[in-house]
Amino acid sequence: MRMNQLTKISLAWELFEEGTPKKHIAQNLGVNRETVHLWLSGIGSHKNGLLGFLDDYANSKKGERAKRKLDGLLKNQIWRIRDKNRDCCGQKVREYLYRESGISLSVKTIYKVLGEKYELRSKWKKNKLRGPVSIAHHAREVIQMDTVDFGDIFAFTGIDIFSKETDVLLRPSLTSHDGLVFLETAMERRFGGYSDLIQADGGPEFKDEFKNNVLRFAKRYRVARPYRKNEQSYIESFNRSFRKECLGWAKYKPVQLPELTQEVNNYLNWYHQRRPHLGLNMKPPLQINQVPDF
């Protein structure tokens, strides 16, 4: 490989001395025009001409190039920048580093340094296997779950996409423990304790504790793909109705939790007993005996 490259350099110089344009030299040798320019400039400025340039070129290619190492002070500066700027991304760390010190590093290098200290979120795998989106043919086959933000109170919502039965639980925080409390509560009091499939989005409230326990209540758990609202269409539709018909778009405080819970319970009773549903031939969910006996 090296001999072949040295031969190309020699040919490039010979063609150049014959008056061949650099563009044509590059095309004939199959190399970049800028590379040809560097070769010819190096040969022309070398005190020993072509032979001296070839010797220096061959010696420079011997052995592996030493890897660039970052000193501890620079690493600490990168970590400090991330901490100071609210766990910002590598691109922003790079910009702050350049502003502060005039040091320019690649984003890849910065993420390597950050990875030595922090547990970074992995890149989203858009082709990650998630299993098919199920279509329900009977009650308790598919349960979709989601959350609605009401300021300092969060509504955990769930719907049986076949029977259209729903459940709502208000919580003062949005953690995976709150998700687990909703899972246990809703599955026991509304959804018969078990389902073929439970589906939720990729929010933090549906990870960790929730994810570790979800298969107690379902054969399969599926995370809906981001930006694919049609995969959560039933629960998204219910969330809109829930806002419009019950709690609206206001922001609430934790001290209001008891009265809001009572209001939600009253709404759920009306929803299941009296509210006509387009998907159920204008009948409320509990007026149709859709739930099979297990």
Q: Supply the pLDDT for residue 294.
A: 40
Is 2 a residue whose pLDDT tops 80? no
Angle, vertex CA 172, rays to CA 171 and CA 174, nearest 5: 75
Check if the beta carbon of residue 88 is closer than 8 Å to that of residue 82: yes
Q: Supply the pLDDT for residue 1.
A: 40
Rounded to the nearest 10 degrees, how much is the dihedral formed by the CA atoms of 171, 142, 137, 126? 130
Question: Does pTM surpass 0.85?
Answer: no
How far apart (Å, rounded) are the C-alpha atoms in residues 252 and 163?
31
Neighbours of 7 (CB within 10 A): 12
pLDDT band at 47 (very low <50, low <70, confident <90, very high): confident
Q: Supply the pLDDT for residue 159.
A: 97
- State the average pLDDT for the chain: 87
- DSSP string covering 150-216, please? EBTEEEEEEEETTT--EEEEEESS-SHHHHHHHHHHHHHHTSTT-EEEEEE-S-GGGSTHHHHHGGG
- How much of the chain, in percent, has pLDDT values that exceed 70? 89
Lowest mean pLDDT segment, chosen from 158-172, 236-250, 265-279 = 265-279
Strands laid side by side in the 153-160 sheet: 166-171, 153-160, 142-150, 195-200, 218-223
Which residues is 197 bridged to in the sheet? 142, 220
Whether 2-60 and 142-287 share one fold: the answer is: no
Is 89 a residue whose pLDDT tops 80? yes
Check if the beta carbon of residue 154 is closer than 8 Å to that of residue 173: yes
How far apart (Å, rounded) are the C-alpha atoms in residues 63 and 259?
75
Q: Where are the domains of the chain?
A: 2-60, 72-117, 142-287
Task: Render pLDDT for 221-250 as a digit per residue (tens, 0 to 9).
Answer: 999 988 777 899 999 999 999 999 999 999
Task: Render pLDDT for 172-216 as a digit per residue (tens, 0 to 9).
Answer: 999 999 999 999 999 999 999 999 999 999 899 999 999 999 999
Residue of 115, 120, 121 whose CA lies nearest to 70: 115
Is 9 a residue whose pLDDT tops 60? yes
Residue type for position 34? E
CATH number for region 2-60: 1.10.10
Please give the CATH topology (third level) of the domain spanning 142-287: Nucleotidyltransferase; domain 5 (3.30.420)
Those residues with Cβ within 8 angstroms of residue 283's Cβ, 6 or more apart along the chain or in another chain: 276, 277
Task: Render pLDDT for 105-116 as a digit per residue (tens, 0 to 9).
Answer: 888 899 999 988
Task: Render pLDDT for 15-36 as a digit per residue (tens, 0 to 9).
Answer: 899 889 988 898 888 888 888 8
Is 122 a residue whose pLDDT tops 70? no
Is 3 a residue whose pLDDT tops 70? no
CA 176 to chain centre: 18
Which residues is 159 bridged to in the sheet? 144, 166
Q: Which helix (H) or strand (E) holds 223?
A: strand 218-223
Q: Supply the pLDDT for residue 293.
A: 43
